[in-house]
Structure 1
Amino acid sequence: MILRSCARCCRHFADPRIGVVSAGWYIMPVTDAVFGGEGEQYAAHINVTKALESQVGGVSGGTGMCLAIRHSLYQPFAPGSANDDTTPMLWAVLAGKHAVWDPNAKAYEHASRSFREEFRRRIRIGAGNFQTLARYWRVLLPRYGIAAYTFTSHKAIRWTMPFLMIAILVTSLVFAGN
Structure 2
Amino acid sequence: MIPEITFIIAVIGILHTYLLYPWITNYKAKNHSQNNIVYDINDENLPYVSIIFAAHNEEKVIEQKIISTFNSNYPNYKIELIIGTDNCSDNTENIIAKYKSKYKINHLTFIKRQGKASIINQLVETAQNSIIILSDANVFFDEQTIYQLVKHYKNLNIGLVGGNILNNKNKTSKGIISQEKYYLYKENLLKYQEGIIWGSMIGSFGGCYSIRKELFIEIPTNKLLADDFFITINILKQNFKAINELNAIAFEDLNESIWEEFRRKKRISAGTFPIIIQNFKMWILPFNGLSFAFCSHKVLRYITPILVIIAFISNIIIFEQNIVYKLTLLSQIILYTIPVIDAILSYLKINIKPMRFISHFILMNMALLIGIIKSIISKGNPNWKPSNRNICI
Q: TM-score range by the shorter chain?
A: 0.7 to 0.9
Q: Which residue of 2 aligns with 1:68?
A: 210
Partners of 2:312 and 2:159 in 1: CA distance? 42
Greater alpha carbon shift after TM alignment, 121-130 vs 80-89: 80-89
* Aligned Cα root-mean-square deviation (Å): 2.2
Cα shift at 1:116? 2.4
SS of equivalent residue, structure 2 residue 314: helix
Percent identical residues:
24
User: Which of 279, 292, 296 lines up with 1:153 in the alignment?
Assistant: 296
The one-letter code sitting in structure 2 at the alignment partner of 1:47 is N
**Match for residue 229 of structure 2 among 86, 90, 95:** 86
1:164 to partner: Cα distance: 1.9
Q: Please report how far the alpha carbon of residue 148 of structure 1 lies from its aligned counterpart in structure 2 after TM superposition.
A: 1.4
- 1:164 is matched with which residue: 307, 327, 334? 307
1:144/1:100 Cα in 2 relative to 1: closer, same or farther (>3 Å)?
farther
Q: Does 1:95 align with 2:95?
A: no
Q: For 2:251, what is the secondary structure of its paired residue? A: strand
Q: What is the distance in 2 between the residues matched to 1:36 and 1:173?
A: 35
Query: Does the CA-based 8 Å contact 2:162-2:209 persist in structure 1?
Result: yes
C-alpha distance 32-172 of structure 1, shift in aligned 2 (>3 A): closer
2:252 is matched with 109
Match of 2:196 among 55, 59, 66: 55
The code of the aligned residue for 1:119 comes to: F
Which blocks of at least 5 consecutive residues in structure 1 are unaligned? Answer: none
- Quick one: higher RCO (CA 8 Å, sep 6+), 1 or 2? 1
TM-score normalised according to structure 1 size: 0.87
TM-score normalised by structure 2 residue count: 0.42
Question: Could you tell me how far 1:47 is from its partner in structure 2?
Answer: 1.9
- What is the CA deviation profile of residues 28-70 of structure 1, one whole-angstrom value per residue up to 9, with x for unaligned ones? 2533742122222221111221111111122111011111111
Count of residue correspondences: 178
1:11–1:115 Cα change, 3 Å: same
Q: Give 5+ residue unaligned stretches, structure 2.
A: 1-67, 69-140, 322-393
Kindly name which structure, 1 or 2, has the bigger radius of gyration based on alpha carbons.
2
Matching residue of 1:13: 153
Letter paired with 1:65: G
Which deviates further from its counterpart, 44-53 or 1-10? 1-10
Residues 173/39 of structure 1: CA separation in 2 closer, same or farther (3 Å cut): closer
- Structure 2 counterpart of 1:58, one-letter code: S
Alpha-carbon distance in 2 for matches of 1:6, 1:147:
27
